[in-house]
Amino acid sequence: MAKISDPHGLHDWSSKEYVRDWATRQDRYEDKRRPQFQMIADAIPFTRNAAIQILDMGAGYGALTQFLLEQFPNATALCQDGSEEMAKLGRQRMAKWKGRVDYVIADFSKPGWSRAIHGSFDAIVSTIAIHNVRVPGIIEAIYRELFQLLKPGGCFLNLDLVFVPLAKQLGWLRAAGFSEVKSYWQEAREGLFGGRKI
Ligand SMILES: C[S@@+](CC[C@H](N)C(=O)[O-])C[C@H]1O[C@@H](n2cnc3c(N)ncnc32)[C@H](O)[C@@H]1O
């Protein structure tokens, strides 16, 4: 697969060494991130024992996915990422979840990315991933495309660096067809926001 683009040249997600180093550095923040993951789990509008299907976009090695699989013991998850190396690491780290988790490689900056993803979802979630594409029009198009992957009643929850003003992104979600669009939390440059498909 073609290398996923990083317009600011900050990351090389296609490099095994870069991905392993990034993941090792990121491990130090896992405890700090748990309250953020908890906010996402609490915002998912299903009971904890529901057999929901989750799509984690730009899932990385699956930090959020693992948290959600613990909190929703009957859930299954599909981790989407554009990096083969990240998916390899995720498969290793999530070996104990075999049967409940799978990976799909897709570059969400390219229109039509969702064709690689089969099925529909009760919850589409994402943490610190979508901002990587940087271009506002592409982020807007990602929201439009992912709306089609949700089941009626499903939700999208995005915890991300908010380089594009939140009010603008909430407007994109409404224009994509989402209802109950709202911001759940914002601190410094990070925010958790999303909406529902009714
Ligand atoms: C900062 S990491 C976050 C990983 C994970 N969501 C987490 O919170 O630990 C960003 C992830 O987004 C993925 N990514 C970046 N650009 C992408 C793109 N255009 N399409 C799909 N995945 C992308 C990277 O490969 C990487 O795994």
Q: Domain segments of the chain: what residues?
A: 16-158
Ligand 1 neighbours (beta carbon < 6 A): 4, 13, 58-60, 63-64, 81-83, 86, 107-109, 127-129, 132-133
56 HSE (CA, 13 A, CB side): 27
pTM of the model: 0.96
For residue 3, what pLDDT is reported?
74
DSSP per-residue letters across 150-181: EEEEEEEEEEEE-SS-HHHHHHHHHHHT-EEE
C-beta separation of 147 from 178 below 8 A: yes
Residue 51 structure tokens? 């057999």
Give the tens place of pLDDT for each residue, 101-113.
999 999 999 999 9
More confident call, 13 vs 9:
13
How many degrees, rounded to 5, is the angle at CA 155 between CA 152 and CA 157?
Answer: 165
For residue 34, what pLDDT is reported?
97
CA of 139 to the centre of ligand 1 (A): 13
Residue 57 structure tokens? 């976009």
CA of 140 to the centre of ligand 1 (A): 17
Mean per-residue pLDDT, 115-129: 98
Residue nearest to atom 14 of ligand 1 (CA): 58
Q: With cut-offs at 50, 70 and 90, classify the pLDDT of residue 10.
A: confident
Please check whether the domain covering 16-158 is classified as CATH 3.40.50.300. no
For residue 9, what pLDDT is reported?
67
DSSP per-residue letters across 12-58: -TT-HHHHHHHHHHHHTTHHHHHHHHHHHHHHS-S-TTS--EEEEET
Mean per-residue pLDDT, 137-158: 98
